[in-house]
Structure 1
Amino acid sequence: MANKLVQRILGQAPRASMRLSKGFTLIELLVVLAILTMLAGLVGPKVLNQLGGAKSKTASVQIADLDKSLELFKLDVGRYPTTEEGLDALMKRPGSVNGWNGPYLKGELPKDPWGNAYRYANPGNGSFEIVSLGSDGAPGGEGEAADIRNKP
């Protein structure tokens, strides 16, 4: 009874008040969905670009960690691992190497952010190279597919 009195004072018909309490109309929902779709179209590509950049940065950080671990290996053994010994020499003693005091990494030997093994080469001239082949897993490439190396 009091509800009907309030409706008369406010000038609302009983049907109008019932319509207001039912929820959103189809048009209102479609407008909200259209706005959300436009926002996703604007923000989505930027987020995906940042994700690709983050993977490249992660690979650079992992390569720097491997570089430091190889320097520790050299301090103990007196040389860098050969290409044949590879990065596995950081985890387990290669053959009958004297002075090995590893493992030089915690956990397992990391893979690059795209799930590929890092490539290691020691040409025997006192330097070495660590390479991630990027998102495509093939030499060369641009952007996220570009190779990432420990030495420029």
Structure 2
Amino acid sequence: MLLRNEGGFSLIEILIAVVIIGFLAATIGPELMNKVTDAKQTAARNQLEILEVALDNYRLDNGRYPTTQQGLKALIEKPTISPIPQNWDGPYLEKKEIPLDPWGNEYNYLSPGNYNTHKYDLWSYGLDNKKGGTGEASDVTNW
């Protein structure tokens, strides 16, 4: 009778592989999540800068920023709420739509601002869409 040497992994080898994979997931996983969070925060800052350029162009044409009531919509459609801009030459955004923040929420706009009293405040509340927060829930602002 011939004994065959069957290939395969022993229980110990499988357990060692599982432990190594678990260790790698525990050490690399959080770092990857931090990169995603950082990327969303950076994307929000970049979108704020694009909106700021559009708002500055609006002001150059019309002598003032849109009011809070006119909002960011004034960048893509001529406002019908007073004061009606006489020199509106928009749309002031290339895509002709107001972008949502990376978490799918609308950007907030206040003119004149509480922080930028001679201009406007522009911000995103982050993941939780609430004031304050840390990490991905932290606010992204222009002040």
Measured against the shorter chain, the TM-score band is 0.7 to 0.9
Instruction: Pick from 89, 96, 105 the counterpart of residue 93 of structure 2.
Output: 105
Say whether residues 1:57 and 2:46 are aligned partners.
no
Residue type matched to 2:93 in 1?
Answer: L
Residue type matched to 2:138 in 1?
Answer: A
Aligned residue for 1:119?
A: 108
Runs of 4+ in 1 over 4 A off after TM superposition: none
Say whether residues 1:48 and 2:33 are aligned partners.
yes
Aligned residue for 1:81?
A: 66
Provide the identity percentage.
43
Task: Give the TM-score normalised by structure 1.
Answer: 0.79
Aligned residue for 1:7?
A: none
How much has 1:42 moved relative to structure 2?
A: 0.7
Q: Which of 1 and 2 has greater Rg?
A: 1
**Mapping 1:2-151, distance limit 5 Å:** 15-16=4-5, 19-20=6-7, 23-95=8-80, 96-107=84-95, 108-123=97-112, 126-151=118-143
Superposition RMSD in Å: 1.9
Separation in 2, partners of 1:149, 1:90? 19
Residue type matched to 1:118 in 2?
Answer: Y
Residue type matched to 2:85 in 1?
Answer: V
SS at match of 1:135: coil
Residue type matched to 1:39 in 2?
Answer: L
Task: Give the TM-score normalised by structure 2.
Answer: 0.83
Structure having the larger proportion of residues in helix? 1
Residue type matched to 2:124 in 1?
Answer: S
Separation in 2, partners of 1:14, 1:105? 77
Residue type matched to 1:112 in 2?
Answer: D
Aligned residues: 135
Residue type matched to 2:102 in 1?
Answer: P
